[in-house]
Amino acid sequence: MKADVAAIADSLTDVTQPPLRVALFSGNYNYVMDGPVRALNKLVARLEARGHSALVFAPTSKKSALEHAGELVSVPSVALPGSRSEYRLGLGLNTAAQRRLDAFAPTIVHLAAPDWLGFSALTYARKRGIPAVASFHTRFDTYPRYYGMAWLEKHITGYMRYFYHRCERVYAPSQSMVDELARDDIGRDVRLWARGVDKTLFNPARRDLAWRRQVGVADDEILVAFVGRLVLEKGIDIFASAVKQARRENPKIRALIVGEGPERDRFMQLLPDDVFTGYLAGEDLARAYASADIFFNPSVTETFGNVTLEAMACGVPSLCAAASGSRSLVDDGGTGLLVADAKDVAGFAKALVALAGDPDRRRMMAGNARIKSDGFDWDAILDRLIRDYQEVASERKA
């Protein structure tokens, strides 16, 4: 009982502090659904529910992916070139946006990306003595290695050090990412802002054998799920190669790919006999997770792994690369398996074969995963971040 009271007290924001006025800057807030977008929208909704004010500045497009939380101010932007044209690059604050920002008079500025928009907002804050904090969502510096430009990586890392060192605090979504950023000297004061999961939506009761049959999966087949954007940096080549190699030993292994993206055609060519659902959300997404037998996330670019946590809440054991986000979620041998080398196709295949052939072990891991996911409550996590905002604002005022 004392522990419960302490946990509740820890999650409460300081009601003696004046309401916050948070200006949030992001490269994407509503036009493409991804993990950072979910977290940022949750944050804005929680700020307003707690009596604070929030104003979001981000690029927009003609078609949005969700009904966003809070007021959104559109900034000038251009589509990124090449295969990532669904994302947009904000071109900084124009006169109209800056006037709106001036009128809002923020007490704290939150930067969700070290892009052009984020840099202009950081400059604005520093000139006016407004504290600026940043949340770290993606290791952008790892992206060039997937597109034949590995030589760029060190330069992007250098810029990220410069950007994040100019922020009061940097919030990383997993303890392993906090440790990694501290090790790489990215940020002066790196703290944890974890992620939550909606356990009323994502839970084992969503498992649906009739749906599996409908999409062409037999009851005795072992369904291995991938959920996310279909882009190279998510490790789709590793996923496909490992599934095909594992299937040579166990023909009952099938793949379920949930998501859309520029590499969908390439992915389908690699796994022509497997199940591609396209983008799913809400109950449809939860059903897909829960109807799988193994969740496989080979990505090393995840700073947290929302998809892994959602799979865990659905009672599905995970197989992941031992990257920063996954190491904080998956207990190797307890809730799933971790493979040290993200390029080790044979290692992933061996793990898939082992899990596919051991239903008792999968059930044990599924139960452990569900229990661990219970510790990721959105409201408590967001209230701790808001309290940290208040601390930063109070320190600057003092």
C-alpha angle 292-295-300 in degrees, rounded to nearest 5? 160
Nearest to 306 by CA among 187, 202, 183, 191: 202
Domain 204-373 has CATH 3.40.50.2000: yes
| Chain centroid, CA 180 distance in Å | 16
Nearest to 140 by CA among 159, 121, 118, 166: 159
Q: Residue 147: pLDDT above 70?
A: no
How do residues 321-336 score in pLDDT, each as one tens digit?
987 778 889 999 999 9
Q: Residue 398: pLDDT above 50?
A: yes
| Token reading at 227 | 């959920």
Give the per-residue pLDDT at 93. 94
Lowest mean pLDDT among 152-156, 232-236, 382-386: 152-156
Measured between alpha carbons, how far is 196 from 384 in angstroms, rounded to an integer? 12
What is the pLDDT confidence band of residue 9, given thresholds at 50, 70 and 90?
A: very low
The angle that helices 345-356 and 359-373 make with each other, rounded to 10 degrees, is 100
For 7, phi and psi rounded to 5 degrees? -65, -40
Query: Nearest 10 degrees: CA dihedral of 367, 36, 142, 330?
Result: -10
Measured between alpha carbons, how far is 135 from 114 in angstroms, rounded to an integer? 10
Give the per-residue pLDDT at 299. 87
Domain 2-196+377-397, CATH among 2.60.40.1730, 3.40.50.920, 3.40.50.2000, 3.90.800.10: 3.40.50.2000
Q: Who has greater pLDDT, 222 or 11?
A: 222
Q: Residue 32: pLDDT above 90?
A: no
Q: Residue 1: pLDDT above 70?
A: no
C-alpha angle 318-361-218 in degrees, rounded to nearest 5? 75
How do residues 201-212 score in pLDDT, each as one tens digit?
999 999 999 999
The percent of residues above 70 in pLDDT, for the chain, comes to 92
Long-range interactions of 69-77: CB distance < 8 A, separation 24+: 69/41, 69/42, 69/44, 69/45, 70/41, 70/44, 70/45, 72/29, 72/30, 73/97, 73/100, 73/101, 75/117
Q: Who has greater pLDDT, 93 or 303?
A: 93
Nearest to 384 by CA among 176, 139, 173, 122: 173
Mean pLDDT in residue range 14-29: 89
Give the per-residue pLDDT at 140. 64
What is the pLDDT confidence band of residue 7, given thresholds at 50, 70 and 90?
A: very low
Q: Look up residue 329 and give its amino acid.
A: L
Lowest mean pLDDT among 8-17, 34-43, 215-224, 388-397: 8-17
Task: Give the domain ranges of the chain.
Answer: 2-196+377-397, 204-373
Burial state string for 352-380 with b = 16 or more CB within 10 A and e = fewer than 16: bbebbeeeeebeebbebbbebbeebbbeb
253-258: strand order across its sheet: 275-278, 253-258, 222-227, 294-297, 318-321, 336-339
Measured between alpha carbons, how far is 309 from 311 in angstroms, rounded to an integer? 5
Which pTM does this prediction carry? 0.80
Mean pLDDT in residue range 39-49: 97
Is 70 within 8 Å of 56 (Cβ atoms)? yes
C-alpha angle 232-238-244 in degrees, rounded to nearest 5? 130
| Chain centroid, CA 198 distance in Å | 14
Do 2-196+377-397 and 204-373 have matching folds?
yes
Q: Who has greater pLDDT, 232 or 94?
A: 94
Mean pLDDT in residue range 308-322: 96
Give the per-residue pLDDT at 342. 81
Q: Residue 21: pLDDT above 80?
A: yes
Measured between alpha carbons, how far is 77 from 60 in angstroms, rounded to an integer? 8
Give the per-residue pLDDT at 247. 97
Q: Residue 132: pLDDT above 70?
A: yes
Is 141 within 8 Å of 92 (Cβ atoms)? no
